[in-house]
Chains A and B, each alone.
Chain A
């Protein structure tokens, strides 16, 4: 709790979910845990907010859901990236990269030499 936490920039949750599911199908808890761990708890998601996002992505055809069994023998709902979802992820990553580059080029620019 001592770590400075960032409220997730609105809209980035979707791309984080897609990225997380690009490795393997996961249930909602798995997605939330994975995001927490891989961002070293830097990005803090209000865990419940994940679910409406998952449903939204499913409705757009980027995810597919199915019920399965976990290693702990619990019934859980799994999400899997569809090929449309994979394409969407690629597009968002590209867009994100372009945004970051643009921001960086402004933020780290040398003092311009006048005249």
Chain B
């Protein structure tokens, strides 16, 4: 009987030498036949007979061999899989033990990764939720907005006659709807009191075109969408919940708006709001719109017909617009059309800053991962003896690399889980910031985001674990024993590169956020043209008891005087309140204006002829106190006064930009203008009596526009929805806010008691920039922190490595300061590369991006300051290790 040499020894080795399947089976069966033949020969058979007999007794060799092969192959596959699992489980157990044994390294790595991955995860959530996510409208990619394209290249709203012609003549669209391009706040009264909410007028088919079904109820019926039809509104889901207490049936639910009771017939789900902040939708067709071709009142929404591309639609619409221009001449303001996919329209200015911030967060992750790689590398070198030992004991290089990779992937995956939590929390914070980014409030960390985050995490672990792992596995017996200097230099170069990239990334982010900061600072301290301090603003609508919506044109004068009287009385009562110095009416709030403008022409320089002198100017209605209250300087002529009443000559004051544009010779005073587009019930020739300074009308980041100020009393009907400015007495701002609120609640319960300081309006007008600045600064701070940790770790490590050398130098008389110098010189080498590369990168990046992202247009000083911050911080980070080095006891160091 045969005996195996030693069956129990080294299973791994045995598996490694196992022959290929076919060979394995063939040799096994060959052996059987050979032994059997021998046995038969021993029993006296002839060799040939023995061989034949052995084969006969064996049976169908071919079939058996085939079966055995299949079985063996299957078994080996199963085995391999379970082996892999065993090894993985082993690696995991080993890794976890390692991580627990070195809590400082583990915790530091996890914090680093949480920040890096969390940053990317947060920004990915935003980009995905706001920009990439399909809009909640049926086949939303077929939806487009249409605008008239003015000769000056601006998109302007569309006039009703044009919409009618477009609808009739175009074949590119399945359906066309329109809505008021001006969404404005308007008081709506419910059982819970009055509130100012965004309201909008939409055409009959609006929701059908959009592809949105009401959450509760229905959209408008035909009866509700004709002049004089039943008053009905749709409300947003939020309004329905917050103001109406979410009744499941809308039967008998009414609100009071525009002076009448309107039946609430439908609720629009939150995710489908368009425009985004709308709370109440009116039927546009209920009030007749007699305006002409130059009354640009409507935004147009259309659904492309099947098979029609955007460019085909563009060609057709431009042809139609050119036709309209040819037919109607001067009446038609444009001969071209802009068509824009709805998503592009909605995201507008938000998209680029978001992508920009996403890119910035990716840089932070890159930095965090570099930090991790540095840490892993340092550890791998610390564990050199262990690794050498393991490889001497037969662990192959592949196994070692896999072990080290397991470690980095476990770390990054844990970091990914923590990072997702971070993203969740960060999002809560970001959503409290007023960013004006559409749909931001709807964004959630969902399953998709989690999956992507974990994917990114694992990938990061693989990529950034690979370099240290390969490096570590290369440590062979020779270099470990001899500590060759060549290996050290190579490693130092690698480290220098890593630190330099960290410094470079931090520098880029620092430059970016400092640029945004300085820009914001400039804007905030920009001269607005008026005194912002101690001014309070409130929105007021003249009660509808005084002005019914559809009154007899014969009563025009009477209604106007009623509105004027209301304003007179209201501003007098406001001014009489304690702590209030003055009050003024204005049709629009400075810094928050919607820039209502209309065509004006100059009389008598021919309102029909010279097109050059026709143009658009802001149309503002103010009471005489407006300029004094805001301290707007009167540059020429006079301001407005109480004697400019409805019965007096119609006058106006223009701003400096207007005067310089139309009257460059300075002869504006005394000229007459017509503002045909805006005046109700016939244009009235108006004489310019003064020129005032410019004020920033649309926010501090936009330049002044041409403006004409008309006395509110002379065009009172236009002031039905207007704002009030109130100047508090010095130091009495907070008290005044309360006083005004109390006054409204007490005396005018049908008006919303909403008051705000102009200072708040100014800050609010920068909210988009503030959001970008906030996020980028947070990223830059994290990057700075990570880069410093990286520098600190590397310098510390190198000090430890050079302990013996430093000991010798101290023994030879090097002073403490000398040691500091030694370490700082080392740090300087690390920093200098990063600062140079980072500066170059930052310069080219800001140059490319400054046209895309507001505020990325920095002073060269910003680069200098950023570099300085990094260098100082870098030296600070190396101060601790340097101090430790200088305290080295030479005797101890040399003995070790």
Contact = CB atoms under 8 A, between A and B. Distances in A.
B12 interface: no
Interface string A73-103: 0111110100000000000000000000000
B3 A29 contact: no
B27 A77 contact: yes
Nearest to A76: B31
A77 B2 CA distance: 11
Contacts of B25: 51
B7 A72 contact: no
Contacts of B28: 27-28, 51, 76-77
A80 B8 CA distance: 10
B1 interface: yes
A51 B29 CA distance: 8
B72 A55 contact: yes
Given A47-B32, A51-B29, A71-B3, A58 B68 contact: no
Contacts of A48: 29, 58-61, 64
Contacts of B3: 24-25, 70-71
A9 interface: no
Contact of B31 (A52, A66, A71, A77): A77
A46 B59 CA distance: 6
Nearest to A69: B5
Contact of B68 (A33, A51, A66, A80): A51
Contact of B7 (A25, A30, A58): A25
Given A29-B36, A48-B64, A58-B75, A24 B1 contact: yes
A108 interface: no
A69 B4 CA distance: 6
B27 A75 contact: yes
A70 B72 CA distance: 22
Contacts of B59: 46-49
Contacts of B68: 51-52, 55
Interface string A23-56: 0111111101100000000000011110110011
A51 B60 CA distance: 12
A33 B4 contact: no
Contacts of B34: 74
Contact of B64 (A30, A49, A67, A71): A49
A78 B31 contact: no
Contacts of B36: 29, 47
A59 B82 CA distance: 12
**A29, A74, A75, A78: residue with the most chain B Cβ atoms closer than 10 Å:** A29
Contacts of A25: 3-4, 7
Given A52-B67, A55-B71, A66-B14, A28 B5 contact: no
B72 to A, nearest CB: 6
B31 A27 contact: yes
A102 B57 CA distance: 35
Contacts of B7: 25, 64, 66, 68, 78, 80
B18 interface: yes
A36 B3 CA distance: 19
Interface string B12-55: 00100111000011011101101110010000000000000000
A59 B64 contact: no
B78 A59 contact: yes
B74 interface: yes
A24 B17 CA distance: 23
Given A67-B19, A68-B4, A76-B2, A28 B32 contact: yes
A71 B32 CA distance: 14
A30 B31 contact: no
A77 B24 contact: yes
A52 B1 contact: no
A22 to B, nearest CB: 14
A27 B24 CA distance: 13
Given A48-B58, A69-B5, A29 B14 contact: no
Given A75-B31, A76-B28, A77-B28, A51 B2 contact: no
Nearest to A55: B71
Nearest to B15: A66
A115 B19 CA distance: 71
A104 B29 CA distance: 39
A32 to B, nearest CB: 7
A69 to B, nearest CB: 6
Given A24-B1, A32-B32, A69-B5, A47 B57 contact: yes
A18 B365 CA distance: 59
Contacts of A26: 1-2
Contacts of A46: 57-59
A80 to B, nearest CB: 5
Interface in B679-711: none
A29 B78 contact: no
A46 B64 CA distance: 11
B71 A30 contact: no
A30 B74 CA distance: 25
A69 B6 CA distance: 10
A24 B2 CA distance: 10
A75 B19 CA distance: 12
A52 B71 contact: yes
Contacts of B67: 51-52, 55
Contacts of B2: 26-27, 30, 68, 70-72, 76, 78
A71 B34 CA distance: 14
A11 to B, nearest CB: 17
A51 B24 CA distance: 12
A59 to B, nearest CB: 4
A7 B67 CA distance: 21
Contacts of A52: 64, 67-68, 71
B30 to A, nearest CB: 9
For the complex of A and B, the 8 pairs showing the least CB-CB separation, nearest first, are A70-B2, A68-B4, A48-B59, A55-B71, A48-B64, A59-B75, A48-B58, A29-B35
14 contacts: A26-B2, A28-B31, A47-B58, A47-B59, A49-B59, A51-B25, A51-B67, A59-B74, A67-B14, A68-B2, A71-B1, A71-B3, A77-B31, A78-B4
Interface of B: 1-5, 7, 14, 17-19, 24-25, 27-29, 31-32, 34-36, 39, 57-61, 64, 67-68, 71-72, 74-75, 78
Given A27-B2, A78-B4, 12 more contacts: A30-B1, A47-B32, A47-B36, A48-B59, A51-B25, A51-B28, A51-B67, A51-B68, A55-B68, A66-B7, A68-B4, A77-B27
